[in-house]
């Protein structure tokens, strides 16, 4: 190699490089200092500031910073801003690779153009090829009107990639501003969507359109705010008070997930002994079978360090879904919540549970199910709303799942709800029961009213029925329950069973896909 001459000027002083440096500096400013200041006045971070918080310090590498739009209509040719309203790139979260895009509201209101969409699509293609999660930070006014069908085509290209990546890599969305019209469908297609209270909104048609068409008066917050979507619609899976908390929550969620469906589950060092006993659980189920208790407290006793990352905790509260760890390994937890609607399964709970179970199965996350369910919620509203179809979704999800499935019945397991909640008949691997378990077609009072209608000694008949069925022994006799254990042994037993099932494989007949009762 020839020596470098001493009098050669540094390349950094090359005019072409200076031009590149100027362009990159301009890209860093997005829509300019004034628009950045307005963003901060609203209590919101800029697109790049959000990425700095999401990723490990200094790990983010931007791609496409010099991209510009291609529209020459309506004066757009005079408004060229580097990056075109979205920052894309990759970095690490807790040392593991992650791809992300962050829409920049300071540039054309974060509106999506053909070039904007192409940047997101290229990012998602790279994420799938690398086998790493993709996170979308959404803050956009919607399609860029000046580009017409080109912006609509851009949305559809993104949607197609959302579908192609489904079940291959985790896709996570964080709505940090407006997300309206067709833009809502990309977050809706991702695995989990989080929102920021009082500053993020999602709706297909805004309040003005609703007012003109239906004459309903509704605010943005009421129509599509975080409170609406986390408690009523179930569109969002969690809400945070501010952007920093939201980004920290996203980092925490990523720590539980594998990089892809081909990657092993993350396993962290665990200081919580796998054989730890849980004496509190011996007393948690009330003697009165009609009395409620908090199932979340049961789960926290069992999992590592009592840590549970709940999914949709404010929606369909009669069922609990979330991620936890057993002996350092990620597990998905599904549980009836006796403290809400007595733990009955209704439409919302069935859909919430089914979606979570299918996510866990897609990414090889073992399922732990805690059961205390008196049945499906009765009533005309549920029947007319399609509880049969929606309940079948949860049944289908459990039956289809091939990951390790461990079930603990703590008290009631009645009727069809017993079957649906990861029963042995849906090929659960290990089904355990506490001595307080009651496995039957229905409760003793209802059963006696049917079996012994008109019998004057109803109380005695109820006692006979309870002695026969309000215990786990009938199911254990025929092998539907693998073991009856002391509640305090639950963590120790689950940890041991998880180690055994770590190499589980299931063969299924070839098919394109099943026909889930959607």
Q: What is the DSSP letter of 142?
A: -
What is the distance between the alpha carbons of residues 187 and 236, in angstroms, rounded to a whole number? 9
Catalytic residue among 63, 130, 131, 182: 182
**417 flagged as catalytic:** yes
Instruction: Check: CB of residue 47 under 8 Å from CB of residue 104.
Output: yes
Instruction: Check: CB of residue 498 under 8 Å from CB of residue 364.
Output: no
Q: What is the DSSP letter of 310?
A: E
**226 flagged as catalytic:** no
3 state DSSP class of 121: helix
What is the distance between the alpha carbons of residues 54 and 246, in angstroms, rounded to a whole number? 9
Longest CA–CA separation in the chain, Å: 112
Catalytic residue among 141, 181, 238, 443: 181
Instruction: Check: CB of residue 139 under 8 Å from CB of residue 105.
Output: yes
Catalytic residue among 47, 246, 399, 417: 417
User: Of the candidates 51, 53, 362, which has an alpha carbon nearest to the alpha carbon of residue 192?
Assistant: 362
* Other Cβ atoms closer than 10 A to 203: 22
Give the DSSP H or E segment for 254. helix 243-256
* 283 Rama class: left (phi>0) / alpha (psi -120 to 50) / beta: alpha
* Other Cβ atoms closer than 10 A to 38: 13
Q: How far is CA 105 from CA 30, 49, 85, 161, 250, in A?
A: 9, 12, 7, 23, 20
What is the distance between the alpha carbons of residues 313 and 249, in angstroms, rounded to a whole number? 14
Backbone angles phi, psi at 255, to 5 degrees: -65, -20
Only one residue has tokens 């029961």, namely: 433
Catalytic residue among 416, 446, 476, 496: 416
Q: Which two tokens stand for residue 279?
A: 């004496």
Q: Please, which residues have CB within 8 angstroms of residue 145's CB and are 6 or more apart in sequence?
A: 111, 151
What is the distance between the alpha carbons of residues 334 and 318, in angstroms, rounded to a whole number? 11
Q: How far is CA 47 from CA 44, 136, 192, 239, in A?
A: 9, 11, 20, 19
Question: 467-497 burial, b if ≥16 CB within 10 A, otherwise e?
Answer: eebbbbeebbeeebbbebbebbbbbbbbbbb
User: Of the candidates 291, 360, 285, which has an alpha carbon nearest to the alpha carbon of residue 321?
Assistant: 360
Q: What is the DSSP letter of 14?
A: -
What is the distance between the alpha carbons of residues 425 and 354, in angstroms, rounded to a whole number? 17
Backbone angles phi, psi at 327, to 5 degrees: 55, 40
3 state DSSP class of 505: coil
Instruction: Give the helix ranges, DSSP H, for 166-267.
Output: 185-189, 207-214, 220-224, 226-231, 243-256
* Catalytic residue positions, numbered: 181-182, 416-417
């Amino acid at each position: 190699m020839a020596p470098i001459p001493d009098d050669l000027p540094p390349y950094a002083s090359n005019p072409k490089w200076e031009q590149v440096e100027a362009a990159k500096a301009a890209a860093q400013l997005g829509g300019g200092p004034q628009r950045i200041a307005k963003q901060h006045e609203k209590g919101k971070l800029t697109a790049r500031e959000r990425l700095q918080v999401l990723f490990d310090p200094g790990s983010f590498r931007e791609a496409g910073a010099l991209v510009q739009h291609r529209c020459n209509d309506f004066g757009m040719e005079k408004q060229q801003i580097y990056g075109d309203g979205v920052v894309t790139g990759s970095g690490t979260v807790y040392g593991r690779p992650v791809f992300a895009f962050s829409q920049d509201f300071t540039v054309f209101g974060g509106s999506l153009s053909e070039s904007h969409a192409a940047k997101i699509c290229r990012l998602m293609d790279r994420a799938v090829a690398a086998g790493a999660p993709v996170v979308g930070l959404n803050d956009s006014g919607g399609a860029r009107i000046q580009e017409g069908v080109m912006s609509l085509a851009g949305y559809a290209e993104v949607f197609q990639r959302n579908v192609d990546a489904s079940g291959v890599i985790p896709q996570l969305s964080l709505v940090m501003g407006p997300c309206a019209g067709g833009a809502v469908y990309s977050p809706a297609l991702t695995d989990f969507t989080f929102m920021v209270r009082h500053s993020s909104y999602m709706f297909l048609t805004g309040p003005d359109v609703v007012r003109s068409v239906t004459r309903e008066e509704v605010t943005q917050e009421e129509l599509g705010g975080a409170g609406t979507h986390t408690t009523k619609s179930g569109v969002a899976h969690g809400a945070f008070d501010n952007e920093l908390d939201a980004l920290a929550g996203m980092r925490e969620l990523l720590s539980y997930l594998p990089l892809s469906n081909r990657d092993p589950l993350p396993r962290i060092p665990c200081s919580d002994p796998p054989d730890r006993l849980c004496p509190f659980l011996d007393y948690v189920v009330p003697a009165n079978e009609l009395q409620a208790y908090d199932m979340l407290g049961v789960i926290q006793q069992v999992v590592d360090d009592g840590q549970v990352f709940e999914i949709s905790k404010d929606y369909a509260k009669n069922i609990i879904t979330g991620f936890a760890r057993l002996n350092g390994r990620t597990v998905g937890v599904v549980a009836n919540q006796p403290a809400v609607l007595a733990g009955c399964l209704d439409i919302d709970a069935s859909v919430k549970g089914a979606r979570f179970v299918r996510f866990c199965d897609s990414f090889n996350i073992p399922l732990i199910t805690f059961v205390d369910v008196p049945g499906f919620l009765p009533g005309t509203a549920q029947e007319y709303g399609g509880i049969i179809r929606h309940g079948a979704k949860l049944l289908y999800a459990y039956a289809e799942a091939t990951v390790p499935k461990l079930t603990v019945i703590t008290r009631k397991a009645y009727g069809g709800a017993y079957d649906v909640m990861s029963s042995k008949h849906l090929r659960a691997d290990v089904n355990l029961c506490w001595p307080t378990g009651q496995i039957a077609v229905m409760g003793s009072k209802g059963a006696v009213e049917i079996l012994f209608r008109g019998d004057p000694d109803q109380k005695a008949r109820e006692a006979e029925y309870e002695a026969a069925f309000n215990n786990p022994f009938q199911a254990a006799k025929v092998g539907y329950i693998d073991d009856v254990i002391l509640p305090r042994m639950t963590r120790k037993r689950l940890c041991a069973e998880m180690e055994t099932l770590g190499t589980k494989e299931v063969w299924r007949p070839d098919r394109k896909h099943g026909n889930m009762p959607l």
